[in-house]
Amino acid sequence: MMSRRHYGGRNLARAVSFADLRRMAQRRLPRFVFEYLEGGAEQEVTLRRNRAVFDDIQLIPRTLVPLDRIDLSTTLLGSPVPLPVAAAPTGFSGLLWRHGDVALARACARMGVPFIQSTVSNARIEDVAAVPGLRHWFQLYVFRSEDFLERLLARAEAAGCEALVLTVDSSIFGNREWDKRNYRSGTDPTLANKIEVLRHPRWLASVPAKGVPSFGNLLEFLPENRRKMVHAANWARDAIDTGLDWDRVGWLRKRWTRPLLIKGLLCADDVAMALAQGADGVVLSNHGGRQLDGAVSPMSVLPAIAEAFAGRLTILVDSGFRRGTDVLKALALGADGVLLGRTLLYGLAAGGEAGAGRAFDILFEETRRAAALSGCRTRSEIVADRLVVPARGDPAY
């Protein structure tokens, strides 16, 4: 019987899919770090659904279409991109690779796509802004302190961030049970995990040996004795504004004069509220299955929201994207673009900036190939007529 296995060595050129990069990342990272990257909330129903939904959307290819030139370039927020994708905001990237946020930003700059820096990234806004040629967006978690928000927004403006991405689905932290099981209490790993770390010398040499990174954007607000990552993470959870509402969004809209996107919406009524508050776009997202277990997949609500709001809002989508065909399906259902989270982090964890670049290369190649095999030569030809989509109410949809 033939045995199949994904590549798990160190040669990035041999990675032909995100599954290979995932396996490479899994071998390099300690178990508890990989669990943080990989896991979801509670029983991980939403995490699995985010992938299953793509399996039930079928492509209808057109043939005998000249395919000598495939050009999927378009614009996001008015500026050109070679493919309508961007790096989703992710925290703790510095645990995956030393200076991981800057490495990801450099890979994005090379590909010409936006990088959305997280409030809880390990790098400072200014460090990421220094990456040459980068389209720099900033993701905001809303903390109770208005002074904190004012200073953070001022820094983002001064750094030239072209858009603000307000995350609204994380005022309450998701119940990530599998992640919790790796710790004795709080953020102290179990003895078994501490011993297991010794099996990952490459990670040890590149991250902990040089000092576990903290949250660069929070340091100026933290007491001297609470600046280590463990203490900073606890401070951030305690300081988050659990009373975030549409009035606060209106305040932010008045304060931030550049494009504003609201991330974490799944309900059409909330999208309508975002439009009413003056948002320029939305990100349909269930936070990669890490918040509310049992939540609907963004792909399931995308068609109706795109039909209702196309042309009035930029509509982005994330959660579960692992293939170029996934991107193609989202664009056909009306998304203006796709945000990539774990797909890029697998590459980052496997090989730093070069690994993230390899992830982009795989995605670009897969998406262009899928478009060509579907008979789509340009972004405008990727339309819903090229799909068979499950009826509403189907368990997988």
Annotated binding-site ranges for FMN:
89-91, 118, 139, 285, 318-322, 341-342
CB 60 within 8 A of CB 389: no
Q: Which two tokens stand for residue 181?
A: 């099981």
Write out the catalytic residue numbers: 287
Q: Is 77 helix (H, G, I), strand (E, B) or coil?
A: coil
Q: Tell me the binding residues for glyoxylate.
A: 36, 141, 167, 176, 263, 287, 290
CA–CA separation, 77 and 315 (whole Å): 10
Nearest to 163 by CA among 282, 260, 279: 260
Q: Is the CB of residue 113 less than 8 Å from the CB of residue 83?
A: yes
Residues in the chain: 397
Helix (H) or strand (E) holding 358: helix 342-373
Residues 72 and 368: their CA atoms lie apart, in Å, by 7
Find all residues with CB under 8 Å of 303, minimum gap 6, and list them: 333, 334, 384, 389
Q: How far is CA 47 from the centre of its chain?
A: 14
Residue 225's CB: how many other CB atoms inside 10 A? 7
- C-alpha distances in angstroms, 123 versus 114, 171, 176, 269? 17, 22, 25, 35
Annotated binding site: 36, 89-91, 118, 139, 141, 167, 176, 263, 285, 287, 290, 318-322, 341-342
